[in-house]
């Protein structure tokens, strides 16, 4: 239900059905999240979060032959340096 109307000479305002617009936008956002975060990459089979963890472990020089580190140390490193939201 699209309708054009004048608004005090400020230009045209497009009236839309908010329910349909929210449904459409939510579906688009959901699909972008699934594609960018939830599906493993075909090149290496890793999700972005797993790739960040491995990268952080490499930066900390954590390998199978180094002494044990608590996972909280690695998680802190990932969140502090590589989290996409800052």
pLDDT digits (tens, 9 = 90+) for 36-81: 888 888 889 999 889 999 999 999 999 999 999 999 999 999 999 9
pLDDT attached to residue 66: 94
Take residue 10 and report the two structure tokens written for it: 């400020």
Rounded to whole angstroms, how far apart are CA atoms 76 and 24?
36
Give percent of the chain with pLDDT exceeding 90. 58
Predicted pLDDT of residue 20:
94
Give 67's Cβ-side CA count (13 Å radius): 0
Structure-block tokens of residue 64: 């199978």
Helix (H, G, I), strand (E, B) or coil at 12: strand
Q: Which two tokens stand for residue 42?
A: 């075909």
Partnered with residue 37 across adjacent β-strands are: none
Give the chain's length: 86
């Amino acid at each position: 239900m699209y309708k054009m109307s004048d608004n005090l000479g400020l230009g045209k305002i497009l009236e839309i059905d908010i329910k349909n617009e929210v449904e459409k936008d939510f579906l688009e956002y959901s699909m972008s999240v699934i594609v960018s975060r939830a599906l493993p990459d075909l090149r290496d089979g890793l999700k972005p979060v797993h790739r960040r963890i491995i990268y952080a472990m490499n930066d900390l020089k954590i390998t199978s032959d180094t002494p044990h580190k608590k996972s909280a140390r690695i998680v802190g490193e990932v969140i502090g340096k590589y989290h996409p939201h800052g």
